[in-house]
Amino acid sequence: MKTTTVNLTGVPETMLWTLHNRASEARRPDGFLRDPDCVRVADAIDYDYVRSFGKANASHSLRSRVFDDAVRPWMAAHPGGAVVELAAGLETQFHRVDDGRVRWYCVDLPESLEVRERLLPASERCRFIARSALDLTWMDEVDASHGVFITAQGLLMYFPEIEVRRLLTAVIERFPGVELMFDTIPEWFSRATLKGMNVTPHYQTPPMPWGVSRAGLEPLLRSWSSRVTRVEFAPYRYPRGAWLRFLRLGSNVPGLRNVLPMMAHVSTAPGS
């Protein structure tokens, strides 16, 4: 039963796109993402997902599963640690991985968190911070006493590179030893979105000004901060459909993987 109406545009509307794709995978009996809260939320929103985004695919589900696989062992190694989810939207990662101890912070624009609060209310260990990720005052709200892990799914590509640098260097300096996980797009994909990229006749992706190749990411991050110690690239482990199978194969081909989207897990040096 559709019980919730939304009025989102621009980048905030993309959270409905990712919700559509994740819920489709979660509904499958053989799905690799078990996510009943995602299905519940998608079913509650009065929105024509197919008209805007077309037939669902497994892309965003794969991304969520890979992020889950990175966050869980970090949580086990840092009991009571803080996970900060930048651009949380309607992602239900907290509900999938909650170990009863983690302190979770959902950072997003006020209009996005207003929708989230109606469907996935904040709680004692899952707090909301209604701010842009670029408003660095969100860091003042985070208890870093047991370590910090920062995630950013589908976010950084929407910022100019100068703002990505400002955000990441500020996080690394503020939280010594922080781990970060985010996804990126290649330069050609960024250029395509700046010209206008239609997903369907009824939906055009917002511009994505930041693109970077796999080969270029680690040198770029190390040029931004000497505290970067390791940059690992998360593999596409759960292919479903031709596009994801191509990504999985292409990520192992040196020339090809530089022109594909990627997910990166960044480690940094602890404080002295």
Instruction: Provide the pLDDT confidence category of residue 242 given band limits of 50, 70 and 90.
Output: low
Q: What is the mean pLDDT of the chain?
A: 93
Taking the C-alpha atoms of residue 181 and residue 231, their distance in angstroms, rounded to an integer, is: 10
CB 119 within 8 A of CB 4: yes
CB 208 within 8 A of CB 194: yes
Residue 212 identity (one-letter amino acid): V
Sequence-ordered list of residues with C-beta below 8 angstroms from that of 136, at least 6 positions apart, any chain:
167, 170
Asked, for residue 50, whether it belongs to a domain, the answer is no
The reply to whether the predicted model has a pTM over 0.95 is no
Asked, for residue 210, whether it belongs to a domain, the answer is yes
Asked, for residue 221, whether it belongs to a domain, the answer is yes
Q: Which CATH number is 103's domain given?
A: 3.40.50.150
> What pLDDT digit, counting tens, does each position of 139-185 carry?
999 999 999 999 999 999 999 999 999 999 999 999 999 999 999 99
Instruction: Give Cα separations from 53 to 16, 187, 219 (angstroms).
Output: 9, 23, 35
> What pLDDT digit, counting tens, does each position of 187-230 carry?
999 999 999 999 999 999 999 999 999 999 999 999 999 999 99
Is the pLDDT at 254 greater than 70? The verdict is no
* SS3 at position 117: helix
Please give the residue range of the domain that contains residue 130. Answer: 59-268
Asked, for residue 13, whether it belongs to a domain, the answer is no
